[in-house]
Amino acid sequence: MNAPTDIQTIIKDGKPAFVVIPYAEYIRFFPATKRIPASDAVPHEIVSLMVDNDWSIIRAWREYLELTQLVVAERAGISQAALSQMESSGKRLRKATREKLAVALGITAGQLAA
């Protein structure tokens, strides 16, 4: 009988094909990343943040991605105060502003259009 090991190698056609590792090790090597769809779709988590907290879509994305206002503002080339105003105003953004913020957040402009 084989003694249990932490890591298992699965052989297929005489060659290593897969490795099975404990879940804790998997998490350590591959920390959770936020899901960002490649299309203009908005994940359920973003919609939930908007509804549950009465947040704008900008703030919901920023919080979901765990970014500060200062970081997003610097990436977008605007002031933190301007970003704060955009997050709280509820007004539709100009196309150019929406595109800047999308790049700063790493999402598509369409994902901010809601």
For the chain, give every domain's residue range.
44-112
Max CA separation in the chain (angstroms): 68
Task: Quote the CA–CA distance of 72 and 8 in Å, as a whole number.
Answer: 42
CATH classification code of 44-112 = 1.10.260.40
Q: pLDDT tens across 21-77, in order?
A: 888 887 777 777 778 888 899 999 999 999 999 999 999 999 999 999 999 999 999
Task: Say what the pTM is.
Answer: 0.72
Q: What CA–CA distance (Å, rounded) separates 41 from 10?
A: 37
